[in-house]
Structure 1
């Protein structure tokens, strides 16, 4: 079981888990999902995750667990909180989950986990230079990789353009809220990606999030210097990335 790890993807509405083959990025079990407890308090979420882990109780206790979370994560501490309780801010989340699960735990930002899955197993395999993964959903999550190495906690969805936190204009949620056509949304997306080009000169953009399944409706409408391609791991990206990075860290 050395190449098997459990991936946990914690969100504001649901918590998902699966066993991952960390050599191939393939799920070895069905994805199990429970609702995120109301209020998303640390104690309640740790209990919910512990109950999910019980589905894998046939695995040895030393099997690694990777957890991705909607927050900036520094050295195991959650420094922000998106759609979860403010009690997560400044919390030793890695210690909380390690105590609750009685296993080795690595925790990271959810966009970083999705990006890691794409770099290791998906559209970004073998990429050189600067790759920027963006996830288009309720907001815009981002992950930076240089020569396939993660630079954590980029949070570029909050970049200010024309005096506005631009994820409020260019996220998929903003498209739905404002009733935009794909053409109209693409105009906003183009503005966003051009700003990233101006600031960072990336070599590749990867676009994830649920809407990336319909990438043919909006990516061809963008006019960028940088190659932009859809993600491949999609709804399992957080689970795969969290499990695989945990496995690398604990093997090392």
Structure 2
């Protein structure tokens, strides 16, 4: 296929997937459990799938034959009883390309199973940032990595800093680059990937998919980071510019009817606040991003350095005036989170980007603001935790590219 829809994510429990061929049906759920670290041994996999030891052995044997996992028959742990086999993703197994476009750069990496980035490169934006040239830069940088590796390359996923519709894969409100609303990013990216030539070890044509970066970061945190075990995970993040959010419910990314849900950046937290690029005032987007912190502190960032990096450093500055600015921004963030808690009732909130630094700077203040403005108050306090996944947007883009093979591992054999 030339490209997939922008959000094929699913996390249904294995027991809910009926199929006439039970063994093949179990391959995807088994690989997903190993990929996310939930089944480090064959015994754990047997219990998670609710199957016999023989069935689990057959499933892991087939996944090993596909080159996706390794099975170590040496004893795993000590204790009494029959030792279980260790299961792990294959260190020399296939990879996908993960790509991300930021407001001020392009990042690419190779990624194996298990949420591991094999190599990451961070490049400046090209001189022209129209859709075709910027998508071409991401495709060519990823293809260069694919040509250089000896591992099979199965697909490419791209994280974009704007909403992406489903299932057609068009970009709306691309405020960072002034792209025309409705730009067909999925089709354009697929064409640029085809022209970039990812090399002889890549699937031909190389499947590609695009999605919003906050959605992908939430997926990465749910599968590999601070969101593990949460049933209703809310992620809120502020990166280089603006604020994004996403919700994962029972392992599934909630994207709404057309992929546009959880645009939390445009939740109003101060009607008299700073103007937002969307045309409103006081959006979370304009009140809690890196620029907002500089404005509150009365500081001017160095134009020759990353504003995001400078804002992270500013959030830790002990100067009293900066502390007051941090408190101001934290209060606005708390108002936004409280409104989201009242509507969504998550069981965990993960903060990333600059919001992670604001949480570190004023954890008690942020929790108190959320509790005071939440319908359930302190009795219903929701844990607010820092993100754990490094380069979560890239890891999420890798998840997007891996998704077809997590659903059907045997599809990975087509390029062998």
Q: TM-score, normalised by structure 1?
A: 0.89
Q: 1:33 aligns with which of 113, 122, 125?
A: 122
Task: Number of aligned residue pairs: give it.
Answer: 247
Higher RCO, 1 vs 2 (CA within 8 Å, ≥6 residues apart): 1
Q: Distance in 2 between matches of 1:198 and 1:148?
A: 21
Q: Distance in 2 between matches of 1:85 and 1:185?
A: 27
3-state SS of paired residue (2:191): helix
Higher strand proportion (structure 1 or 2): 1
Deviation, 1:183, is 2.5
Is 1:209 matched up with 2:353? yes
Q: Distance in 2 between matches of 1:116 and 1:93?
A: 21
Between Structure 1 and Structure 2, whose CA radius of gyration is higher? 2
Q: Distance in 2 between matches of 1:5 and 1:210?
A: 28
Name the structure 2 match of 1:97: 189
Is 1:160 matched up with 2:160? no
Of 67-76 and 50-59, more deviation after overlay is shown by 50-59
Cα offsets for 1:181-215 (capped at 9, x unmatched) = 22232222221211112222221110001452564
Is 1:247 matched up with 2:402? yes
Cα offsets for 1:116-149 (capped at 9, x unmatched) = 1101100001211x21100023211101111121
Of 179-188 and 238-247, more deviation after overlay is shown by 179-188
Any residues of structure 2 matched to 1:29-68 within 5 Å, and which?
29=119, 31-53=120-142, 54-58=144-148, 63-68=154-159
Is 1:184 matched up with 2:184? no
Is 1:117 matched up with 2:206? no
Q: Distance in 2 between matches of 1:148 and 1:42?
A: 32
Deviation, 1:150, is 0.4
Q: 2:105 aligns with which of 14, 20, 44?
A: 14
Asked whether the equivalents of residues 126 and 148 of structure 1 are also in contact (C-alpha less than 8 Å), the reply is no
Q: Show structure 1 runs of 5+ residues with no match.
A: none
Deviation, 1:39, is 4.3
Asked whether the equivalents of residues 186 and 219 of structure 1 are also in contact (C-alpha less than 8 Å), the reply is no
Q: Distance in 2 between matches of 1:251 and 1:183?
A: 43
3-state SS of paired residue (2:234): strand
Name the structure 1 match of 2:251: 148
Asked whether the equivalents of residues 12 and 40 of structure 1 are also in contact (C-alpha less than 8 Å), the reply is no
3-state SS of paired residue (1:78): coil
Deviation, 1:47, is 2.4
Is 1:70 matched up with 2:188? no
3-state SS of paired residue (2:154): coil
Q: TM-score, normalised by structure 2?
A: 0.56
Is 1:82 matched up with 2:175? yes
Of 63-72 and 36-45, more deviation after overlay is shown by 36-45
Q: Show structure 2 runs of 5+ residues with no match.
A: 1-66, 69-93, 195-205, 272-281, 298-321, 372-380, 408-416
Q: Distance in 1 between matches of 2:156 and 2:382?
A: 35
